[in-house]
Amino acid sequence: MCNFSNFFDLKILEKIIDFFQKFITVINPLEYRFDMAVKPHLNMIVTGHIDNGKSTTMGHFLMDLGVVDERTIAAHGAESEKTGKGDTFKYAWVMDNIKDERERGITIDLAFQKFETPKYFFTLIDAPGHRDFIKNMITGASEADAAILVLSAKEGETDTATAAGGQAREHAFLLKTLGVGQLIVAINKMDAVDYKEAAFKAAKEKGEKLVRSVGYKLENVPFIPISGWKGDNLVKKSDAMAWYTGKTLLQAFDDFTIPEKPIGKPLRVPIQDVYTITGVGTVPVGRVETGVMKAGQKIIVMPSGALGEIKSIETHHTEMPTAEAGDNIGFNLRGIEKKDIKRGDVLGTPDAPPKVAKEFKAQIIIIHHPTAIAPGYTPVMHCHTAQVAATVTEFLQKINPATGAVEEENPKFLKVGDAAIVKIRPVRPTCVETFQEFPEMGRFALRDMGATIAAGIIKEITEEFKP
């Protein structure tokens, strides 16, 4: 297994691709309301291999916390029995709201819930584990400040999840490369192994190998034995695992910290979607990645170069005079029509407009490919909210992933585990920034064949587009 913790000597792997692909969901992010004046807010994503119990765990957690009442759970159980699945999905369906998910028994889209701990308000994002829906998992990870990775204590299940091609392995890598620096690993299904410490230790050892390989420091990653089905160690300490003296899932959540906000940088707001609201007009939605946005502020939308003014800003149904880095917002624009702004565009100020690249130089690592890639390869690039086909036009240097030293000039191909300096040309001019100036906007992933092929950072814009 490639040791990703050595990639990019200057700790760059710890920060690759902070946030890309924002809220691809049928749910309007403005629907989630928090009294953020009282407690700090964190976005947390639940990830892991299909059938390892992510949705069940969080459904039971929310019931034990009092966010969902037992009557709702009972109703889900009755509905589940009608499908011929018994009451297996009574907890999972707290998060799985889409009819097709219930019929198939898997999580397809992102599901959102809110809950409160003694220290924080959380938006909980339940992500799909099935490979077919990995794009939606990426969406959730791009919004997350922290994550739970759910593994299974049952023999063989964690082996499948953490092996090459396993969803837990891909999720762990994406979490790290997406900039999710805070992680809890929950070893689920302890009830299925009679709550034996040996089973927990065996699964934990495999989980430790996985999270270490993608660059997390083990001393910062708690491993918690749980039963999502029975409720052990979710909110209350389990009587069945006296050998475990650590924290419950709920207690561990309050050990997370609030990330520092880059509010001193120029404004950058990648557009996630654009809505037309009756009586209001055109309302783009996005996350402020850097800087501060103010009502009445003059803005520019790139790459179109359209100029306008911020009329009003809203978050969680509340109008606000300003928004800063980290805020998910909707805003009304004066002077800009819906045709002038779309997903993947970036909003900034006219005095420091977002850059638009026709070509850029990047440092990448190949995560997954059945054979090897050669110059001319054209996967889909995901960078912030932009998704665009992009051709890797030239391999400049193959480098040592541990030291960054040049191993080969102009290599003819790259395979899994290789790191390289390359040139990339999107099929259309795309808003990006260099990693050195805007880490939040200078990270990207390359996807093809339903998998993440490579991840990297933008080192230099070699050909800039001017509208």
CATH code, 443: 2.40.30.10
Instruction: Report residue 4 as tokens.
Output: 């990703």
Q: Which residue, chain included where needed, has tokens 């009679």? A: 194
Instruction: Report residue 315 as tokens.
Output: 């978050």
DSSP structure class, residue 200: H
Residue 385 lies in a domain: yes
- In 3D, which of 346, 336, 364 has the Cα closest to residue 459? 364
Q: Which amino acid is at 58?
A: M
Distance (Å) of CA 424 to CA 178, 279, 366:
20, 43, 14
What is the average pLDDT across 222-245?
95
d(CA 77, CA 90): 4
d(CA 345, CA 273): 10
Total domain count, the chain: 3
Q: Write out pLDDT tens, residues 385-425.
A: 899 999 999 999 998 765 678 999 999 999 987 889 999 99
Model-wide pTM > 0.75: no
Residue 433 lies in a domain: yes
% pLDDT > 70, the chain: 76
Q: Are residues 192 and 293 in the same domain?
A: no
Q: Are residues 51 and 139 in the same domain?
A: yes
- Coil, strand, or helix at residue 424? strand
The residue out of 307, 323, 348 marking a domain boundary is 348
Q: Are residues 402 and 433 in the same domain?
A: yes
Q: Write out pLDDT tens, residues 320-363.
A: 899 998 888 889 999 998 889 999 999 999 999 999 999 999 98
Q: Write out pLDDT tens, residues 76-121.
A: 455 545 555 444 444 444 444 433 433 433 332 334 567 889 999 8
The residue out of 253, 285, 307 marking a domain boundary is 253
Q: Give the helix/strand (H/E) hosting 225.
A: strand 223-225
Q: Are residues 175 and 307 in the same domain?
A: no
- Print the domain residue range for 396: 356-464
d(CA 215, CA 388): 28
Residue 30 lies in a domain: yes
Q: Are residues 35 and 103 in the same domain?
A: yes
Please state the length of the chain.
Answer: 467
What is the average pLDDT across 213-231?
92
DSSP structure class, residue 222: -
- pLDDT above 50 for 172: yes
Q: Are residues 97 and 221 in the same domain?
A: yes
